[in-house]
Amino acid sequence: MYVYINGSIVPKEQAMVSAFDHGYLYGLGLFETFRVENGHPFLLDDHFQRLQEGLHMMGITWSMSKSEVLMIIQELLAANQLSSAYVRWNVAAGSEELGLYTGEYTKPTLIVYMKPLPSVGTEKEARILSTRRNTPEGSYRLKSHHYLNNVLAKREIGDAVKSEGIFLTESGFVAEGIVSNVFWAKKGVVYTPAVKTGILDGITRRFVLALLDKKAIPYEVGFYHEEELLEADEAFITNSIQEIIPLCSINGELLKGKRFVACELKREFDRYRGHLWSRSEIMEVCDE
């Protein structure tokens, strides 16, 4: 594997950061994972808008033109001999003295990781976790280096690739998966937890909501108890790499409804994956 780090593409064994990088010392860093399909980075504009908003909250000054971003992606694809890939774009605070720093971080560390897209199964089984979802450290959840809650949850369900754990909040509301957002449908209406439950507002989650608007499929966003999820006709999870993954069961109970919504959304992803830069593009089409 070749990675990009602060201006250079190097073998992963040569990718080094300072021991004083506050991304390492204090977890001050953000990342975006996105899918490149035949050279096209799907929903890239949405990912980088969220990244910039989060970096501003963290006090990390970083920017890069879209043309520079695309050049790095294409060079990494060539170095790794890939046309489609899993990409993690990581911006950490950079080096400062030991101790909590209250100024602006102006020399962040940029690392871009790339690997082949993982094989995606047709469905997964889900389990409600005993590990509860922690609350965001700020006013809303960032896609940050703070992943202990997720790691503890992953240890709870183990390494089975066809399983996903679903968090509840401390108040008992359905939150999100370990690496996914959660949706379900009942009697023709789609439901998904509100961002105010403390979940990550996933880029694929936002895209799915835009697709539901486009297809005039009714949906509700709110606070829901475990029982409401367990009574679903169908359910599915979303993230930027696996996109739409139907759930076949929750806590061992089979979901027996037809997968109408998941199948319709999968068709829409197939339609847009190779050329869309932002979900706003399908909204503009709807307004015409």
Nearest of 274, 271, 244 to residue 37 by alpha carbon: 274
Tell me the pLDDT band of 262, cut-offs 50, 70 and 90: very high
Alpha-carbon dihedral 118, 120, 72, 93, rounded to 10 degrees:
-80
Tell me the pLDDT band of 284, cut-offs 50, 70 and 90: low
Same structural domain, 25 and 130: no
Residue 133 is predicted with a pLDDT of 98
**CATH code of the domain in which 10 resides:** 3.30.470.10
| Total number of domains in the chain | 2
- Is the whole model's pTM more than 0.75, yes or no? yes
- Of 83, 98, 115, which residue is a domain's last? 115
Same structural domain, 237 and 267: yes
Same structural domain, 86 and 138: no
Single-letter code of the amino acid located at 201: D
Q: Mean of the per-residue pLDDT values for the chain? A: 96
Same structural domain, 155 and 253: yes
Coil, helix or strand at residue 110: strand
Same structural domain, 260 and 226: yes
Tell me the pLDDT band of 2, cut-offs 50, 70 and 90: very high
Q: What is the pLDDT of residues 60-73, one digit of tens each?
A: 999 999 999 999 99
Residue 288 is predicted with a pLDDT of 42
**pLDDT above 80 (res 118):** yes
**pLDDT above 90 (res 286):** no
**pLDDT above 50 (res 202):** yes
> What kind and span of H or E run contains 134?
none
Find the domain containing 88 and state its range: 2-115
Residue 75 is predicted with a pLDDT of 98
What is the rounded CA–CA span in Å between residue 12 and residue 247?
35
Beta strands in the chain (DSSP E): 2-5, 8-11, 29-37, 40-41, 85-92, 109-115, 124-128, 163-168, 174-177, 181-186, 189-193, 219-222, 234-239, 243-250, 253-254
Q: What is the pLDDT of residues 146-199, one digit of tens each?
A: 999 999 999 999 998 899 999 999 999 999 999 999 999 999 999 999 999 999
Q: For the chain, first and last CA: distance in Å?
A: 44
Same structural domain, 151 and 107: no
> Over pLDDT 70: what percentage of the chain?
98
